[in-house]
Amino acid sequence: MEDKFQNLKVMVIDDSKTIRRTAETLLQREGCEVITAVDGFEALSKIAEANPDIVFVDIMMPRLDGYQTCALIKNSLNYQNIPVIMLSSKDGLFDQAKGRVVGSDEYLTKPFSKDELLSAIRNHVSA
């Protein structure tokens, strides 16, 4: 187990309980502290107290979708430096481009693997 994942705060925002649980289990095994939220509204209320090191956000969610959530995080002076990784079952270029426009740092297609999650963290969070 790599020490760089110890005490790392990771936020996972997804309306799918299965995706949240899967990501949470994988990341906790690596030593991460995982904060989950079912949608953008819940995430935004938790982000201030949690101050995560990285955020994984699903695109298709009710109320506040992943694009809107990412844009709000990236437009906030307090949180704009937090890496945001978009999660989607769509792998189209349009979706990826739209993610870049709102400021996402990377785009993962579901279902994602443990290696993809950890690689995204390695690429965007400095030890």
How many domains, the chain? 1
Q: What is the pLDDT of residues 23-50, one digit of tens each?
A: 999 999 999 999 999 999 999 999 999 9
Domain-located, residue 21: yes
CATH number at residue 96: 3.40.50.2300
Q: What is the pLDDT of residues 53-66, one digit of tens each?
A: 999 999 999 889 99
Residue 77 in tokens = 């002076």
Q: What pTM did the predictor assign?
A: 0.94
The runs of H, that is alpha helices, within 30-113 are 40-50, 66-74, 93-101
- Could you tell me if 75 and 52 are in contact, meaning their C-beta atoms sit under 8 angstroms apart? no
Domain-located, residue 127: no
Residue 127, pLDDT score = 55
User: What whole-number distance in Å separates Cα of residue 77 and Cα of residue 62?
Assistant: 25
Quick one: CA dihedral 57, 58, 62, 64, positive or negative? positive
User: What whole-number distance in Å separates Cα of residue 15 and Cα of residue 47?
Assistant: 17
Q: What is the pLDDT of residues 10-21, one digit of tens each?
A: 999 999 999 999
Range of the domain at 74: 3-122
Domain-located, residue 29: yes
Domain-located, residue 32: yes
Q: What rounded mean pLDDT belongs to the chain?
A: 92
Domain-located, residue 75: yes
Domain-located, residue 94: yes
